[in-house]
Amino acid sequence: MVLKTQGKPLFKEHRPVPSPGPGQLLVRVHTCGVCRTDLHVADGDLTEPNLPLIPGHEIVGIVEECGTDTSSFSVGDRVGIPWVGHTCGKCFFCTHGSENLCDNPGFTGYTIDGGFADYTVADERFCFQIPGGYSDMHAAPLLCAGLIGYRSYSFTGEGTRIGLYGFGAAAHIIIQVAVHQGRQVYAFTRPGDKRGQNFARDLGAVWAGGSDVRPPDPLDAAIIFAPVGSLVPNALRAVVKGGVVVCAGIHMSEIPAFPYKILWEERTVRSVSNLTRKDGIEFMQLASRMDIHTSVQPYPLTHANNALQAVRNGKIKGAAVLVTD
């Protein structure tokens, strides 16, 4: 399924099976999650895709062929392919432990063809082993919703009360991690979204309500998963002195002006950009130690446009996943 023009539907297209180059794997795609980032790419919020483009960066599949100079995986291995497709390895950020900020990166499903297809190729250095116990369908959301959610969560510090604004694919994974670690989670949904609030409570939230209301208790930290800039002042008003507000999305609408007094007292607003391989390894190890249940809604690959529309409309409970078989 190919994006030819941003703002237009994807097109079904037949292409030859790609061949892996040096250091690459040919992967037979079994499932690919549909992420809000895919929606930003398709709708034109992210303005520099390599068109025509095959989107998709929550890929789970089987290695069918290994290119030269590969050593980490073998034919038949199950692998996951995330958003970060490669980094230069030479810039200041790559050489100082921040490859997520690489000056010359490649992104799966944005600058590199991704997983809305039967086959894809990927740099083996940026592929992950998938923990056992997760089906291909339920593993797919771990590759971005899980990974970016985990990196965002890592910036919340040691606080006990964590707010999650936007209860979609990432939040429904991270709430399970937080509850597993003994934290209290306060879930914020679209105003009036009783279904989403009940879903959050079922996963362990101590409170769930609309994003337009204050929680009953002050928060130590908040993560904003929804791409809505107006939530930043809301979250700042909800966190305690010294609290942190983490903006987890790759795209967000404009943040409105807000009074300095809600930022004062050493509150922090920070963004999260991409992920490192270290994040991926740590999160996959965590996922292997605990049973993360991913709520998924499957779609056939050729129904990718329907899946994107469901994400756009907030109609997905958990994550949408394309299935090729």
Domains (ranges, CATH) in the chain? 24-143+274-323 (3.90.180.10), 156-271 (3.40.50.720)
pTM value > 0.75: yes
Q: Are 31 and 60 in contact (CB under 8 A)?
A: yes
pLDDT at position 281, please?
94
Instruction: State how far the Cα of 105 lies from the Cα of 89, in Å rounded to an integer.
Output: 9
**CA 128/CA 79 separation, integer angstroms:** 6
Residue 76: count other Cβ atoms within 10 Å of its Cβ: 8
- pLDDT in the model for residue 213: 93
- Whether the Cβ atoms of residue 200 and residue 211 lie closer than 8 Å to each other: no
| Structure-token match 């939230």, residue found | 205
Selection from 230, 236, 238, 239 nearest residue 257 by Cα = 230
Q: Are strands 161-165 and 219-224 parallel, antiparallel or unpaired?
A: parallel
Low-confidence ranges of the chain (pLDDT < 50): none
Contact 282, 128 (CB under 8 A): no
pLDDT of residue 284: 95
CA 283-285-286 angle, to 5 degrees, is: 65
pLDDT at 248: 96
Query: Please, which residues bridge with residue 65 across strands?
Result: 26
Q: Please give the span between the terminal C-alpha atoms of the chain, in angstroms, as a whole number.
A: 15
* Residue closest to 188 by CA, chosen among 147, 216, 148, 160: 216
What is the reported pLDDT for 315?
85
Report pLDDT for 219.
Answer: 98
- Residue 289's H or E segment, with its range, is helix 277-289
User: CA-to-CA distance for 131 and 121, rounded, in angstroms?
Assistant: 21
DSSP state, residue 299:
E
> Mapping DSSP to helix (H, G, I), strand (E, B) and coil, where does residue 243 land?
strand
Q: Which residue do the tokens 């037979």 mark?
A: 28
Alpha-carbon gap, residue 266 to 20, rounded angstroms: 50
What one-letter code names the amino acid at 129? Q
Looking at residue 142, its amino acid is: L
Q: Token pair of 213, please?
A: 């209301």
Which DSSP letter does residue 254 get?
Answer: P
Calculate the dihedral angle through the C-alpha atoms of 222, 200, 290, 245, rounding to the nearest 10 degrees.
-10
Distance of CA 70 to the CA centre of its chain: 27
